[in-house]
Amino acid sequence: MRIAGIIAEYNPFHLGHRYQLEQTRIAGATHIAVVMSGSFAQRGEPAIASKWIRAQAALEQGADLVAELPTAWAVSSARRFGEAGVFLLRELGADFISFGSEAGDPIQLRQALRWMLSAEKSPEMGRFLAEGKSYPRARAEAAAALYGEEAAALLKGANNLLGLEYLRAAEELAPDMEFLTIPRIGAGHDAADPEEGFASASALRQGIRSKGLEISRPFLPEPSFQLLETEIRQNRAPSDMGRLERVLLAQLRRLAPEDFALLPDVNEGLEHRLFRTSQTARSLAEWEQRVKTKRYTLARIRRILCAALLEIPATLPQGLPEYLRILGCNQRGLEILAQAKRNPRRQIPIGTSFARLFQDQSLSETTRLSLQIDCRATDYWALSLPEILPTGLDFTQPTLFLSKKHSPETSAAGKP
């Protein structure tokens, strides 16, 4: 058994994701485990479709097991996102991690990691931050000043940066972990237009929300398209952050500066700017634009917004997840689970039932808080849909099992 691990969002699952799974299998993986964000994505917005539907799409296209990255880490910075993902894949027994990158060369990326770590500690980094530049830009410019434009280029690709965070996390958490980096093909991470038959997930989300699902058909595997088509027909997709606007503004207006200061990524007096803007902003778009500066990127601002909505304390994602929840698997996935549960070095419980995890009386307060945030995230996600779904879906949705023929024995909607 040679287990590959992938950290993903599948928001939505597109042809590039299928290509990665295929290349990972070609590289020698007998089993593929995925750690996937749940009801909210790293950009700080609700996922376009449910985590169960996205897990089903991955299982039908080559994954063997899909576990949930707990919400507090799924909507965190790239460093915390990557650190938690690597840790959970280690707990599942992954032998190597597969990821896409603009560089496509693990040796080059390991050199880039050395440059990145050095740049973060350099006086140049402090100088660029003092000039009001964002952390990613200041880091890239510090690397350029120290090591040249080649280093800076490697620290600008979105997939490169996530890959570097996986490498950084593995040095501490899983020093024996191997890596497979697959060159990204087609459209770039945030590209608005398709290239070489591939479209970015962000472009697909925007197109689906503004023009309808049909525009995405050339860029989604047919099973993924059909799953989304069914969800949209039944008003369970696509999500839209705009449907949460008044709830979000109400939540922001009830927070004092000291409350904002307790959220992740809020420092250097940003809490006062957040408070002042929240008292007068009349829309989410106005709030975002008034808070955003050169120093604070829109992605960071939206993660703060998400943390305020879900009541995520800054201290939570500074640690590591204390449980691993399985969303779905096939027969090979059951083999991954069986091996992981026999591993005497495993540190956290693995569960297929959210209810049983939640009812475990031995849970720490931190674990219980994280589970509550997962549940809260799904409840807010249910409010962002064309038709509002009931609360408590985490307690009622079953774990998905796919037979060898890749037909689900229990659907993600809980029907035979």
18: CATH: 3.40.50.620
Q: Are residues 12 and 89 in the same domain?
A: yes
Q: Is 35 helix (H, G, I), strand (E, B) or coil?
A: strand
| pLDDT(185) > 80 | no
- Domain-located, residue 190: yes
Q: Are residues 329 and 397 in the same domain?
A: yes
Q: Are residues 306 and 345 in the same domain?
A: no
| pLDDT tens track for 16-45 | 999 999 999 999 999 999 999 999 999 999
Q: Are residues 286 and 326 in the same domain?
A: no
Q: Report, as an integer, the average pLDDT of 93-119.
A: 92
Q: Report, as an integer, the average pLDDT of 160-164.
A: 93
Q: Are residues 58 and 204 in the same domain?
A: yes
Q: Is 266 helix (H, G, I), strand (E, B) or coil?
A: coil
Chain centre distance of CA 292: 22
Q: Are residues 18 and 73 in the same domain?
A: yes
pLDDT category at 412 given cuts 50, 70, 90 is very low
How many domains does the structure of the chain reveal?
A: 2
- Domain-located, residue 231: yes
- Domain-located, residue 117: no
User: Which pLDDT score is estimated for 362?
Assistant: 87
- Domain-located, residue 345: yes
- Domain-located, residue 228: yes
Give the span between the Cα atoms of 96 and 163, in whole angstroms: 13
Which are the contacts of 336, defined by CB distance < 8 A and separation ≥ 6? Answer: 1, 3, 31, 33, 64, 65, 92, 93, 329
Nearest C-alpha neighbor of 78 from the set 15, 139, 142, 133? 139
Task: From 313, 331, 350, give the residue that closes a domain.
Answer: 313
Structure tokens at 137: 């830009």
Q: Are residues 14 and 91 in the same domain?
A: yes
Name the residue range of residue 250's domain: 242-313
- Domain-located, residue 158: no
Task: From 295, 313, 331, give the residue that closes a domain.
Answer: 313
Q: Are residues 91 and 195 in the same domain?
A: yes
pLDDT category at 103 given cuts 50, 70, 90 is confident
**What pairs with residue 8 in β-bridges?**
36
Give the span between the Cα atoms of 178 and 342, in whole angstroms: 22
User: Which pLDDT score is estimated for 411?
Assistant: 36
Phi and psi (nearest 5°) for 301? -65, -40
pLDDT category at 339 given cuts 50, 70, 90 is very high
Q: Are residues 7 and 71 in the same domain?
A: yes
| pLDDT(406) > 80 | no
Task: From 291, 313, 335, give the residue that closes a domain.
Answer: 313
Q: Are residues 51 and 90 in the same domain?
A: yes
Q: Report, as an integer, the average pLDDT of 225-232.
A: 98
Q: What percent of the chain has pLDDT over 90?
A: 84
Q: Are residues 390 and 252 in the same domain?
A: no
- Domain-located, residue 131: no
User: Which pLDDT score is estimated for 193?
Assistant: 56
- Domain-located, residue 107: no
Q: Are residues 97 and 57 in the same domain?
A: yes
Structure tokens at 19: 């290509």
User: Which pLDDT score is estimated for 187?
Assistant: 46
